[in-house]
Amino acid sequence: MGMPQVNEANTFVGGVPMAIEVSFMLEGAMDRVTAEAADITRQKLATLDTIERQMVGDLELLAVSKIEEISINPDEMKALRIQYDYWADALANDFRVMRNPYDFRTQGGGGVNVRVNH
C-alpha cells in the first residue's frame, strides 16, 4: 500500500513542523475487515508476498541474458511490477482506501486531486 511503517510522520503546516498520523485510514479499514472477507484479504497479501519474494529471488537474473540454451525473460521484473501493482490496487479496493500517492516505488509519484470548495 506504500504507507510508511511508522506511527507518525512529520509535515509542515504554515512553515511549522507538525506530526500527523499517516496510515489512519488504512489501519481503520483493516480493523473493519469482516470475517467473510478476511480470507480473501489474506490471499491477496499472500499473492503480494509471493510476487515480492520472486522479485528478490530473481535479482541475479538481471546480470544474465542467456545461460547455454536457457533464455531469461528480460521483461520479467517489469511484468512482476505490473502484477504487484494490480494486486496492491485490488487490496486497496477491498479496504476502500487509496495507495500512498507519495510512495517512491510508484515511479509516477505525485499527489491527489481534491476538490476545493470556496
As a whole number, mean pLDDT of residues 56-68 equals 79
Average pLDDT over residues 64-89: 84
Instruction: State pLDDT tens for residues 17-36.
Output: 655 555 567 777 778 888 88
Question: How many other CB atoms are there within 10 angstroms of residue 28's CB atom?
Answer: 11
Q: Domain coordinates of the chain in residue numbers?
A: 8-95
DSSP 4-70: -SSSEEEEEETTEEEEEESSHHHHHHHHT--HHHHHHHHHHHHHHHHHHHHHHHTGGGGG-SEETTE
Mean pLDDT for the chain overall: 76
Query: Under DSSP, is residue 114 helix (H, G, I), strand (E, B) or coil?
Result: coil
Query: Taking 90 as the threshold, does the pLDDT of residue 96 lie above it?
Result: no
- Global pTM reads 0.58
